[in-house]
């Protein structure tokens, strides 16, 4: 991508984090509705929070692995590409992806006049 779009860095990891949030929010929402027996508003909110928490947890584990395996090569392993805010930007992309999904879900449920989708 870097060469194709003449970018200063490769944004592949940001796309993956965005897709993580976009694609995980709906299954998390469904799990909270069906297994957790939550109301739809709570299920939507919890889905967004789970994606945020898992994204943050991944970044923390990634930093621990870098410190344990090779502290002097940590930046190279993490793929920060010189950006000290890389982890925060990756988490933001996951949050944006999840936000898009939950807004679409909330709009769809509101438009359809759906009550809580409990089985």
Distance CA 59, CA 48 (A): 17
pLDDT in tens, the chain (119 residues): 555 545 566 667 788 989 999 999 999 998 998 888 888 888 888 999 999 999 999 888 888 887 787 767 666 656 656 666 778 888 999 999 999 998 898 887 666 665 554 44
5 belongs to a structural domain? no
Specify the number of domains making up the chain: 1
Q: Which domain holds residue 68?
A: 12-111
66 belongs to a structural domain? yes
Task: Tell which residue, 21, 11, 100, 88, has the closest CA to residue 54.
Answer: 21
36 belongs to a structural domain? yes
Q: What is the phi-psi region of residue 115: left when phi exceeds 0, alpha when psi lies from -120 to 50, beta otherwise?
A: beta
């Amino acid at each position: 991508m870097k060469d194709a779009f003449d970018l200063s860095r490769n944004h592949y990891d940001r796309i993956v984090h965005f897709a993580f949030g976009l694609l995980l929010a709906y299954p998390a929402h469904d799990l909270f509705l069906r297994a957790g027996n939550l109301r739809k508003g709570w299920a939507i909110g919890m889905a967004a929070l789970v994606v945020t928490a898992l994204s943050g947890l991944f970044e923390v584990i990634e930093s621990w692995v870098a410190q344990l395996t090779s502290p002097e090569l940590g930046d190279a392993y993490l793929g920060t590409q010189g950006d000290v805010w890389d982890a925060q930007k990756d988490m933001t992309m996951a949050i944006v992806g999840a936000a898009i999904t939950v807004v679409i879900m909330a709009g769809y449920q509101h438009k359809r006049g759906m009550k809580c989708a409990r089985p």
